[in-house]
Amino acid sequence: MSKKTIFIFAIFQFFVSCGFTPTLKILNDTENDTSVYYEIINTSYNARDTLRNLLNGIDKNSAEYLLEIQVIESESAVNIESNGSVVEYRVEAIIQYKLFSVDKDVLIHSSQTRGLANYDVSSSEYSNALVKKEAQKTAVTEALQLMNIIVQSKINE
């Protein structure tokens, strides 16, 4: 009985204290005290719609920072069968952004982030269009998440 208890305690101790420490804390929008105005330029309708749904910008007059965002989307075939038909596509969204200080009108940081998503082609054109739109949204969301992390780190420097 004693050996079994010690063994269970050792296993429990191993799983509880495995050494995991989170590297990123996700904050709520209410905890984010930086005020950024997002300006979306030269972007397709779908990407612009996705960005508007995901970004919580504020009024330009009360913002401390201005972030210019441009989304460039591309699509390429990933899986091609021997008869030449395409079975799977990859959607790539590149977000090019520039972070400015509004009061000084100074460029703080300029870079780009990339998001990728694959989608399979089915037999229906309607379902293909829906799956493609969802893949585009996923790629833009991926790139936007990475951009937000980088921008927040540059603001907090």
User: Is 26 in a helix, a strand, or coil?
Assistant: coil
| Domain spans, the chain | 26-155
How do residues 5-16 score in pLDDT, each as one tens digit? Answer: 888 877 777 766
How do residues 47-97 score in pLDDT, each as one tens digit? Answer: 888 888 888 767 777 888 888 999 999 999 988 888 888 889 999 999 999
How do residues 120-132 score in pLDDT, each as one tens digit? Answer: 887 777 788 889 8
Give the pLDDT score at 43: 80
How do residues 132-150 score in pLDDT, each as one tens digit? Answer: 899 999 999 999 999 989 9
**Which pTM was predicted?**
0.71
**Closest Cα partner for 54 from 140, 125, 133, 121?**
140
How far apart CA 127 and CA 131 sit, in angstroms, is 6
How far apart CA 101 and CA 67 sit, in angstroms, is 9
The H-assigned helical ranges of 17-112 are 45-54
Q: Read off the pLDDT of each residue in 150-157 and give the average, rounded to a whole number.
A: 86
The torsion angles phi and psi of 44, rounded to 5 degrees, stand at -65, 160
- CATH homologous superfamily of 26-155 equals Lipoprotein like domain (3.30.160.150)
